[in-house]
Amino acid sequence: MTNNHKELPILSSSFVSGNQKYSSQLFDVNNFDNFDLNKWRQIMGICFCKDKLVMVYDGKRNCWGHPGGKPEAGETVEQALKREVLEESNMAVLRWKPIAVQKITDADDNWHYQFRLACKVGPRGEFKGDPDGTITRIKLIDPKNYKKYFDWAETGDFLVSKALKILRLDNLIK
């Protein structure tokens, strides 16, 4: 399979999930124009409510992370982002911008894209849980403390710092 993106990855790494080994390439982007939307399998919002980073707790995997998930059939990037953030945090996406794409490749050389976005969000009410019961709680934290909740090494550092930079430049957060 060929890729239609022109960018070079800024980070490359490997990881194991279950018994499967994967490689990951992270691309610094401002849009998704050069990426095949037919190969897109996941979306994740690096979300800020005022100046706090929104964290969601996955009770099934017993870990903290960012709101996100798989797109439903026919959804656009924006539709999937807004639905996932609402389901997992009961917050509305007010503004968003692309920040990165991760290309994930398995041991058999099958690959897909995961889109990462910076988001300004606002609460829609009290969080009671997501529809499939995976996300059991949310927390608004100082972004400087995110490594207390998850540590994705250089990838996590890049995603959080770029999201902060973009939202600050647009005067969406302090």
Q: SS3 of 42, please?
A: strand
Q: Is 141 within a domain?
A: yes
Query: What pLDDT does 127 receive?
Result: 94
- Which residues does residue 63 pair with via DSSP β-bridges, in sequence order? 58
Q: Is 3 within a domain?
A: no
* Cβ within 8 Å of residue 84, ≥6 positions away: 43, 45, 67, 68, 69
Angle of CA points 15, 17, 19, to nearest 5°: 110
Q: SS3 of 72, please?
A: coil
Q: How far is CA 124 from the centre of its chain?
A: 20
pLDDT tens for the chain, 174 residues: list them: 345 556 789 999 999 988 999 999 999 999 999 899 999 999 999 999 999 999 999 999 999 999 999 999 999 999 999 999 999 999 999 999 999 999 999 999 999 999 999 999 999 999 998 999 999 999 999 999 999 999 889 999 999 999 999 988 877 666
Q: Is 60 within a domain?
A: yes
Range of the domain at 99: 11-169
Instruction: Note whether 54 and 47 are within 8 A (CB).
Output: yes
Q: Is 5 within a domain?
A: no
Q: Is 111 within a domain?
A: yes
- pTM, full prediction: 0.91
- H/E run at residue 27: strand 20-28
Number of domains present in the structure of the chain: 1
Query: What pLDDT does 1 receive?
Result: 36
Q: What is the CATH number of the domain that holds 18?
A: 3.90.79.10
Query: What pLDDT does 2 receive?
Result: 43
d(CA 84, CA 163): 18
Query: What pLDDT does 174 receive?
Result: 62
* Cβ within 8 Å of residue 74, ≥6 positions away: none
Q: Is 69 within a domain?
A: yes
Q: Is 4 within a domain?
A: no
Q: Is 130 within a domain?
A: yes
Q: How far is CA 148 from the centre of its chain?
A: 18
